[in-house]
Chain A
Amino acid sequence: MNGATTRRLPGPVRVGLSRAWLETREFARHWESVAFTFALPALILLLFGVIFDGSTGDDISAAEFYLPGLIAMGLMSVSFQNLAISIALERENGTLRRIRGTPMPPSAYFVGKTALVFVLALGQVAVLLAIAVGVYGADLPTDPGAWATMVWVLVLGTISCALLGIAFSSLARSPSTASAIVVVPFLALQFTSGVFVPLTILPGWLVNASSLFPLRWMAQGMRAAFYPDEAAVLEPSGGWDLSTVAAVLGVWCVVGLVLTLATFRWKTSEDG
């Protein structure tokens, strides 16, 4: 008989890593995705550092002030926005149909996406830190606890947003509508989650609404890591509330996983 019936099938980890390598090389070759998904937070940091120079008080530079929120935005961009749009596109252009016709383990697809998102997330943080320090001479925290906070907020925030992005990709009827469906709520969250505008100057009901979603808590967790401790008084509750940050992001990881498992489709509606 044919060797296909007797030899071992390649495992999900091996195929998943192969997909991660493929996905990462491919992402780097799409200059559009690099420009619009990856470079936007860096561009905003460069601009805000100049535009708001001197307007954030004596204790903190403009770049230092915006850095934590832009890191949170960057993480949501490479996870939520990137996956929601790219998976909708892959569903439409036949990529998912093609791999569904192979013995690729379905989990390998998600291993590949997860690895890609974490590579991009680390790259995003590295670029933003490099700009903050290299261009604007920002002071980074020296306390290991601050970096530990940054790491767990990054991990939980990125996973929850990545899962939401995969679930969101199924909402779009076509890749062109995916951009609108993804960018509009993402933009609304950026303005209401303390990324560009401090939460304390927003109406309470708006903060309550944005607090239902991960971005507000990712930004707050990043501020806890990067701002001096006394800046906690500027938060709505007057404290960093890190246990709430962890709880909300943890719940969104679970909700995102449930939504992804319930909604993920390999086929378009026309494929039947």
Chain B
Amino acid sequence: MASTPPVVEAHGLRKEYDGRAAVDGIDLTIHRGEVFALLGPNGAGKSTAAGILAGFRGRDAGEATVLGADPARAGRRWRSRIGIVWQQETEVPRLTVRAVVRHFAGYYPHPRDVDEVLGLAGLTERADALAHTLSGGQRRRLDVALGIVGRPELLFLDEPTTGFDPRARRDFWRTVRDLAAVGTTVVLTTHYLEEVEALADRVCVIAHGRVRAEGPTDSLGGRMTGQTTVSWLADGEPRSVDTDEPTRVVRRLSDAFRGEVPGLTVHRPTLEDVYLNLIDDSPRETEPKEVAA
């Protein structure tokens, strides 16, 4: 992995709309074969960032190299190596699913076989249905089919499962894993934590156009090694501290109370806790001096 250059390398990406920065200085490095999640609340700028990397939106500042080229100036050859599944609902031609996929296959130099695409997207049984009569979830699968028909090295999935029922979401996740298994690099924007946990090798949390944290999904924000919250009651008042050393804190509390600590809880953060903390803008409580000392 170290021998191949990153698929995506971006520094200081910035994009303004009407004077408001939607993307406010983002750095990203994405390696070949990774499933990389851009996680953030609605309006955080993750779709804008993905749009810049996919060559669809311009940028006001910053450097970007995607598959060895600047996406703002890349040509048809470059576009044939990426696939995009847009967030917005997109009209499909009033033809059969198979005819639509076959038509789009004709845009690419080395497309996947149409039946293989329909199988990957879970549309084999609907191949002869008219595309505009598909249900919402099936329509989304057709979006995916059109995103992967060109055998992309890099696939952008922009909030792909919004509005899916749980079953459809699991099916979709399996599709993404299948694509990752054959070496497709996937950039996934989402606001679903469970989607990140299920799919992403690495995750970047974005809020207000800035990166709040980035790293392997299972250790995001120091989840495995980082701060644990220890809570207790002192004179009936709830107290808590965030600490890297919960065992030491509990021992000190135990010493201070000479035995049982009233209302003691030790809470390791879930991904959700980490995420909510990362996107929260209110100032955080720091470790109280009397205990940290």
Contact = CB atoms under 8 A, between A and B. Distances in A.
Interface stretch (B85-93, B114-122, B217-225, B227-235): B85-93
Interface stretch (A90-98, A196-204, A245-253): A90-98
A93 B90 contact: yes
Contacts of B76: 9, 103-105
Interface stretch (B50-58, B206-214, B259-267): B50-58
Contact of B94 (A7, A30, A93): A30
Interface stretch (B103-111, B160-168, B186-194): B103-111
A25 B17 CA distance: 39
B81 A272 contact: no
Contact of B95 (A2, A25, A97): A25
Given A9-B76, A98-B86, A3 B110 contact: yes
A176 to B, nearest CB: 15
Contact of B81 (A2, A14, A26): A2
Given A98-B86, A272-B48, A103 B79 contact: yes
A101 interface: yes
A2 B110 contact: yes
B56 A100 contact: yes
A68 to B, nearest CB: 34
Contacts of B82: 101
Given A4-B80, A4-B153, A97-B86, A103 B91 contact: no
Which label, helix, strand, loop or mixed, suits the secondary structure of the B interface?
A: loop
Contacts of A104: 76, 107
B23 to A, nearest CB: 10
Nearest to A9: B109
| Contact residues on B (Cβ < 8 Å of other chain), bracket | 35 or more
Given A2-B110, A4-B109, A15-B106, A101 B153 contact: no
Interface in A191-224: none
B180 to A, nearest CB: 15
A4 B108 contact: yes
Contact of B88 (A10, A97, A99, A105): A97
Interface of B: 15, 17, 48, 51, 54-58, 76-77, 79-84, 86, 88-91, 93-95, 103-104, 106-110, 146, 150-153
